[in-house]
Structure 1
């Protein structure tokens, strides 16, 4: 079994519903969602003239290897309405692989750890919530230490109501 840290993000349509649909698809098709962070809201990063994003990190146990997992998440994104037009642009759903076990993968189609983890509070806040002590395999710092050192100025707010999140205990 492999442990994958996944970031979900959405800012078009009904982002809460899109995150829920992504969680359902991941659970049904990719493996067991072991842990889910709270949902966080933040202003857009990169391309800033767009609606705020909702983001959530999942820890998933899966039998799939990294490239196969990535291909399956891409299919889920497409099925949920994702259209890739502008890098860092608005989207119905985004599913990013952050970490895959302790692997370091540097391929044209996949970089693990995700190359922007340490630069983005909207990724680090939910990561630190559910995996504070996990060490970045390249930087050697924990997710909590990365969050504390992050200079990203964007405000990231935890959503107060996440009644639809169900993770097996």
Structure 2
């Protein structure tokens, strides 16, 4: 497998949210077939879907990987599980959520994995952090990130910090 540049969405809304994201970034970077290249600032965002839960902290990481998409998914789910991720409710509270947003120029849609991520086009907490990493990004579907971002409201997002240099 050749190197692929991927973008991974990170989110948490339980416990020490920022610590969970930092631990996830360290775990991704420690994996022998993944390297964190850049990390967006962390943003506070309101929950989506199930509204009666704590706010989230979200970020996006640019990652180089040698893993194929399904192997990457398995590795990310193992990192989630190591941080006590429990899947009891769709869009419910969680210690950690790691999503493959983009994987090189791949377009894939099946029951287990959708790339680009199925909901990323409408989620400010994904698009704005992604924009901070690559404002000129064009999705494999031909959509420009800046155009998608201009079509949604991001006023509820609050930048918490800039961690671009926290993972070496």
Deviation at 1:12, TM superposition (A): 0.1
CA distance in 2, matches of 1:99, 1:164: 19
Deviation at 1:153, TM superposition (A): 6.6
Deviation at 1:136, TM superposition (A): 1.6
Show structure 2 runs of 5+ residues with no match: none
1:146 alignment counterpart: 148
Change (3 A) 1:114 1:23: same
Deviation at 1:61, TM superposition (A): 0.3
Cα-to-partner distance string for 1:44-76 (whole Å, 9 max, x where unaligned): 011111110000100000111100000010011
Correspondence list, 1:26-41, <5 A: 26-29=28-31, 30-41=33-44
1:158 alignment counterpart: 159
2:104 alignment counterpart: 101
What TM-score do the two structures reach when normalised by structure 2?
0.93
What TM-score do the two structures reach when normalised by structure 1?
0.92
1:65 to 68, 75, 82: 68
Structure 2 SS opposite 1:90: coil
Deviation at 1:35, TM superposition (A): 0.8
Q: How many residues of Structure 1 are paired with residues of Structure 2 in the alignment?
A: 165
CA distance in 1, matches of 2:165, 2:37: 12
Q: Is the 8 A contact 2:8 2:98 kept in 1?
A: yes
Q: Is the 8 A contact 2:41 2:163 kept in 1?
A: no
1:21 alignment counterpart: 23
Taking only aligned residues, the RMSD between alpha carbons, in angstroms, comes to 1.6
Deviation at 1:9, TM superposition (A): 0.1
Q: Is the 8 A contact 1:43 1:154 kept in 2?
A: no
